[in-house]
């Protein structure tokens, strides 16, 4: 059985070990390839300050690249009795290379190792989420343009209110994603700072070159203060979770709309047949299960920041084992959000729109404001026009040609989708994912 990195002469009680390790071995599989990347940068820096020879560096880098390939292929395992991913990587190196494998930990702690792993993992996941958000955004803009002339009722208080359009409906969610992406970009920049070299939160007496590892890993900057680097654990996850929750909030609302609008009582849209499920008793049913599950998953994601806060709340500076539990709710959340984004993009892209909704006279009164405004344009005081139309409705005399003439920015006749798209492109360009990707590829010799 492998010895713990910290274990000396006394072995820990097995039940205590089971409780303290918890799900760490399972969850650390998310971090395996990032732990290897961090070690590659760290030992490259150690060689530059004389703590490794060039020959030692080369054999270590070659072995780490092999481990990275194993992790990338999904074949990396943490053996029974090995506490975490850091221990497993060091054990694999020591088995292969002997004592030189034991040198990779010089100048760092498992504390700054896991901080680094979490940041490398998170920024990679944020890149994938940003790509999925962009894809959904483009789908929404495309649908907004395709159906910009198809009117539908707008609602307030779930009462029919004023004319809307599918151009407005699709486009509204697209613009919402712009704000969500801005939030995501801020979280990415806070994540994309290097904590390596902060050790247990108080630095090291080795002459570490932290700027070098920052450049090797493609970080934008350092977490300079070593105490703050450790204080950032939990805070980084919380900030990222808030950004993810913002996206999830947009998708959840869209999913609710789609479920409601696809019901027979509305009949505004038809979901693709391959995205609906049947009933075990009612042969006519086509249930919007995908959007119902999306709504539930996104609502769960909106609780993620609170979960993280409740775990990390009121901890003083320094490391505490409480922070380990954050991984249980944080690491799996990215895949859940990506799944929701992909499902939503697919269904929105294949949704069928009812182009004849307003032919039903039950929607006639949504044109009341159009009539009030017409009378006001012709010179009648607005309040008098309002009263006249209201009385006509009460008397059953109201009629309208069911056409609208909106021209101002962001209205039915002037969606401003080009401007919204330009905003999104500006936000996307601000991530600067290329630097991170190029640095990782250079480390791996790709």
Element (H, E) at 111: helix 110-146
- Which tokens in the block code for residue 38? 């961090």
Cα distances (angstroms) measured from residue 376 to each of 382, 383, 388, 411: 5, 9, 11, 19
Cα distances (angstroms) measured from residue 265 to each of 175, 259, 262, 280: 28, 11, 8, 22
- 29: exposed, middle or buried (C-beta count within 10 Å: 0-12, 13-18, 19+)? middle
Q: How far apart are the first and last CA of the chain?
A: 36
Cα-to-chain-centroid distance, residue 152: 31
Active site residue 157: yes
- Which tokens in the block code for residue 97? 């290379």
In the set 42, 87, 157, 164, the catalytic residue is: 157
Phi, psi of 443 (to 5 degrees): -60, -40
Q: Which residues contact 31 (CB under 8 A, 6 or more apart)?
A: 85, 114, 117, 118, 121, 331
Rounded to whole angstroms, how far apart are CA atoms 257 and 250?
11
| Exposure of 249 in the CB half-sphere (CA atoms within 13 A) | 16
In the set 42, 189, 279, 405, the catalytic residue is: 279
Q: What is the DSSP string of 268-279?
A: SEE--GGG-B--
Rounded to whole angstroms, how far apart are CA atoms 284 and 282?
6
Active site residue 279: yes
For residue 104, the SS3 value is: helix
Phi, psi of 317 (to 5 degrees): -65, 155
Residue among 117, 134, 124, 126 nearest 241 (CA): 126
Q: What is the DSSP string of 357-400?
A: GGGSGGGGGGGHHHHHHHHHHTT--HHHHHHHHHHHHHHT----
Count helices and strands (H / E) in the chain: 18, 6
Residues with a known catalytic role: 157, 279
């Amino acid at each position: 059985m492998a010895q713990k990195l910290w274990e000396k002469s006394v072995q820990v009680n097995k039940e205590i070990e089971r409780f303290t390790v918890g799900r760490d071995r399972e969850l650390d599989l998310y971090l395996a390839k990032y732990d290897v990347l961090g070690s590659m940068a760290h030992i490259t820096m150690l060689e530059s300050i004389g703590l490794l020879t060039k020959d030692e560096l080369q054999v270590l880098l070659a072995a780490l690249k092999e481990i990275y390939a194993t992790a990338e292929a999904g074949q990396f395992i943490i053996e029974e009795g090995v506490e975490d991913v850091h221990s497993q990587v060091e054990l694999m190196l020591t088995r292969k290379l002997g004592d030189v494998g034991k040198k990779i930990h010089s100048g760092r702690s498992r504390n700054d190792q896991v901080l680094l792993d979490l940041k490398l993992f998170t920024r990679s996941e944020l890149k994938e989420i940003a790509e999925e958000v962009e894809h959904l955004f483009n789908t929404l803009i495309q649908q907004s343009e395709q159906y910009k002339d198809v009117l539908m009722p707008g609602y307030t208080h779930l009462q029919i209110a004023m004319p809307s359009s599918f151009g407005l409906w699709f486009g509204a969610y697209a613009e919402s994603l712009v704000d969500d992406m801005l939030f995501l970009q801020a979280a990415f920049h806070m994540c994309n700072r290097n904590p390596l070299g902060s050790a247990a939160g108080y630095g090291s007496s080795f002459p570490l070159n932290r700027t070098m590892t920052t450049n090797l890993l493609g970080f934008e900057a350092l977490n300079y203060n070593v105490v703050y680097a450790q204080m950032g654990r939990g805070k980084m996850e919380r900030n990222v979770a808030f950004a993810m929750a913002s996206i999830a909030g947009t998708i959840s609302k869209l999913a609710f709309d789609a479920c409601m609008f696809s019901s027979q009582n509305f009949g505004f849209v038809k979901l693709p047949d391959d995205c609906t499920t049947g009933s075990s008793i009612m042969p006519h049913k086509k249930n919007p299960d995908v959007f119902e599950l999306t709504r539930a998953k996104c609502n769960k994601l909106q609780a993620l920041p609170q979960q993280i806060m409740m775990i990390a709340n009121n901890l003083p500076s320094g490391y505490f084992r409480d922070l380990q539990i954050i991984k249980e709710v944080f690491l799996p959340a990215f895949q859940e959000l990506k799944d929701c984004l992909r499902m939503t993009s697919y269904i929105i892209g294949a949704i069928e729109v009812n182009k004849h909704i307003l032919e039903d006279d039950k929607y006639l009164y949504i044109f009341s404001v159009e009539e009030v405004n017409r009378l006001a344009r012709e010179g009648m005081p607005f309040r008098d026009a309002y009263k006249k139309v209201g009385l006509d409705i009460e008397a059953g005399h109201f009629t309208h040609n069911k056409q609208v003439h909106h021209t101002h920015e962001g209205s039915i006749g002037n969606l401003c989708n080009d401007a919204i798209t330009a905003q999104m492109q500006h936000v996307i360009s601000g991530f600067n994912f290329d630097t991170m990707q190029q640095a990782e590829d250079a480390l791996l010799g790709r």
